[in-house]
């Protein structure tokens, strides 16, 4: 019996209509659908595709607890073993990935554990970077802009030196790092250009000025978008 | 009569199946479809969606010639005037945008000229960054990586200083700048990690080692992808 094939499926930033045609086709043709769940058992990824799960697939919720004390490695090992069992028995498996699977995704922890044993394919998805820019109604980058993506967990010094060399940037995975990032943006003079956004393209989406943000209520999946300055000056040469 | 609505439609990196469900719905419901054409009259954007144009829309090919001597501004003005005429007469207009409209796209030149007069909406698309990573089968970024997008037209010095501070990067719009970029990558020790790719996810797609690239044959829509080092070492902590 030939082994199954593993698909990392980019399902986009949150709006179910932002799935690609390819992701929808593979999702509905695949007998096993795996997705990450929170410690409370919720799955944002499953919620996004819920209306498309009309073929009653086998579902594999995967929990990846992490903390300062405990590595998530054992939970990746366990999830990879469950998927390997399905694949070995000839069943194709899709792993639902918010945004894009290869762009800051947890899919790569499964990918690195399974790619040598099974055929794998990644279907790229709409990133939340682009989802956020569309919601803001603001062009992100232009012509010869240097664009950077900076995870908020980086040290303040690292963030400041990189931001000083960027024409446009997005700071991702804010969570508890919001106060540090706010201070950095103040120091480098970027506060006025920065937009806060959480759950872009989802029903619970919020866009706030940085001053309006309650630092105690900032989720991990939130970001600060600093668009290129150019768009404010349409007189500049194209 | 109410004015029409302007849509910037991200149609993804090239594979027609990488359109989003939303882009397809709007494309097929909109009476006017505009797209850029080359000086030879070809349109990559129209080719991508050709099979979906079943409703016989009014088509608006837009030519944006540019050179060192001539600004493209007058051609943006002309195209905006044509679209404004359709919008004023109550017809919705979609502008086809390869990749994502707000990410290094020409759509923003039309957007800045029309957004104050007409309702506008951008539908985010799959970027060629993510399309290229999927084709390479290589995770692009991981956890707290600093990620950069660098247009190849930047000076060598600018490219070198930014690359030295990046964990992963994509150098876009190579074209005639390939030899300069090659030299920079050699200087900063990144040649071995760099992948050349053109027309990712299209039938004519090519993935080459940098040594195999003929500098005389590098198109504008080609890129060099430098993935995060992490993926080569799955033993690193997650």
Q: What is the pLDDT of residues A110-132, one digit of tens each?
A: 999 999 999 999 999 999 999 99
CA distance B114 to B122: 13
Q: Which of A76, A102, A112 sits opposite B134 (nearest CB)?
A: A102
Which of B123, B124, B227 should be substituted to probe chain A, the one whose Cβ sees the most A Cβ atoms within 10 Å? B124
Contact B205, B131 (CB under 8 A): no
The first and second tokens of residue B88, run together, are 């004023």
Superfamily of domain A6-126: Tetrapyrrole methylase, N-terminal domain (3.40.1010.10)
Q: Where are the domains of chain A?
A: 6-126, 129-232
The first and second tokens of residue B172, run together, are 């876009």
Task: Provide the residue-wise pLDDT of chain B in tens; the chain has 238 residues.
Answer: 899 999 999 999 999 999 999 999 999 999 999 999 998 889 999 999 999 999 999 999 999 987 666 788 899 999 999 999 999 999 999 999 999 999 999 999 999 999 999 999 999 999 999 999 999 999 999 999 999 999 999 999 999 999 999 999 999 999 999 999 999 999 999 999 999 999 999 999 999 999 999 999 999 989 999 999 875 544 444 4
Place of tokens 């499926």: A9
Pairing relationship of beta strands B206-208 and B195-198 according to DSSP bridges: antiparallel
Contact B198, B219 (CB under 8 A): yes
CB contact under 8 A, B25 and A17: yes
**Set of chain A residues whose Cβ sits within 8 Å of the Cβ of B72:** 238
- pLDDT exceeds cutoff 90 at A68: no
Task: Quote the ipTM score.
Answer: 0.95
CA distance A161 to B132: 28
Closest CA to B116 of B220, B3, B229, B223: B3
> If 0-12 CB within 10 Å is exposed, 13-18 middle and 19+ buried, where does residue A153 land?
middle
Phi-psi region of A159 (alpha: psi -120 to 50; beta: other; left: phi over 0): alpha
CATH second-level architecture of B129-232? 2-Layer Sandwich (3.30)
Residue B190 — φ and ψ, nearest 5°? -110, 5
Q: How confident is the model at residue A231 (pLDDT cuts 50, 70, 90)?
A: low
Buried residues in A218-232 as b, exposed as e (16+ CB within 10 A)? beebbbbbbbbebbe
The first and second tokens of residue A185, run together, are 């943006």
DSSP 3-state of B190: coil
- pLDDT exceeds cutoff 50 at A238: no
Closest CA to A147 of A127, A158, A163: A163
**Set of chain A residues whose Cβ sits within 8 Å of the Cβ of B147:** 148-149
């Amino acid at each position: 019996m030939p082994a199954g094939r593993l698909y990392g499926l980019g399902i986009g930033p949150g709006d179910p209509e932002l799935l690609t045609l390819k992701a929808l086709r593979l999702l509905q043709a695949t007998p096993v659908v795996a997705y990450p769940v929170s410690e409370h058992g919720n799955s944002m990824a499953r919620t996004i595709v819920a209306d498309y799960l009309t073929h009653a697939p086998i579902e594999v919720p995967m929990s990846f607890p992490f903390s300062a004390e405990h590595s998530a490695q054992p939970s990746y090992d366990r999830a990879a073993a469950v998927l390997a069992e399905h694949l070995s028995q000839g069943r194709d498996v899709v792993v639902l990935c918010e945004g894009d699977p290869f762009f800051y995704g947890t899919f790569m922890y499964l990918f690195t554990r399974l790619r040598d044993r099974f055929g794998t394919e990644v279907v790229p998805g709409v990133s939340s970077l682009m989802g956020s820019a569309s919601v803001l109604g603001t062009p992100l980058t232009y012509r010869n802009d240097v664009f950077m993506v900076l995870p908020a967990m980086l040290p303040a010094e690292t963030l400041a030196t990189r931001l000083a060399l960027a024409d446009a940037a997005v700071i991702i995975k804010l969570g508890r790092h919001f106060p540090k990032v706010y201070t950095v943006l103040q120091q480098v003079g970027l506060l006025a250009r920065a937009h806060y956004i959480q759950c872009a393209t989802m029903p619970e989406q919020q866009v706030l000025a940085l001053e309006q943000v309650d630092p105690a209520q900032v989720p991990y999946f939130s970001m600060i978008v600093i668009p290129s300055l150019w768009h404010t000056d349409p007189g500049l040469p194209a």
